[in-house]
Amino acid sequence: MKSNAEKSLELIIQLEKHNEQYRNMTALIGVNVADCIGEKYNDDGLVANRDKDEPCLNEWLKREEIESDSGYGNRWYWKAEEATEEDCPYCYAALKLIEQRKELKLKRGRVRSQITKLAKREILNRGL
């Protein structure tokens, strides 16, 4: 059986991996959104100038109220149900990343709560 110290270290490593993944996803979302409104160049010069002020993602995302059973009231949630890759490949890629990042956030929250539980148990054990 693993000691609490070993479990803690594994959880901390897991948390840092999630954090790293979260940062990478956020950066990639930014790149995709920038590509939506940006100018694209290849060796021959300008190949696309989408000339937009705002990414499509801003139009796609709708705030939706999610009923909560936590007793803290309902939550708001951003959703874009009707968007497709044909609408805009960049924003669609960003949207998929946002959805994945949401899942990752939940996973990260579970790791954090495990760390909290371990810490609280240790505080009790040590009489701190």
Can you give the binding site for Zn ion, defined by CB under 5 A? 36, 55-56, 88, 90-91
Half-sphere exposure of 14 (CA within 13 A, CB side): 17
Nearer to Zn ion, 55 or 97 (CB): 55
Q: In the complex, what is the shortest distance from the CB of residue 39 to Zn ion, in angstroms, rounded to a whole number?
A: 14
- CA–CA gap between residue 62 and residue 31 (Å, rounded): 21
| Beta partners for residue 48, in sequence order | 40
Nearer to Zn ion, 91 or 111 (CB): 91
Nearer to Zn ion, 37 or 111 (CB): 37
Q: In the complex, what is the shortest distance from the CB of residue 37 to Zn ion, in angstroms, rounded to a whole number?
A: 7
Nearer to Zn ion, 25 or 55 (CB): 55
Q: In the complex, what is the shortest distance from the CB of residue 71 to Zn ion, in angstroms, rounded to a whole number?
A: 38
- CA–CA gap between residue 56 and residue 36 (Å, rounded): 8
- CA–CA gap between residue 109 and residue 24 (Å, rounded): 18
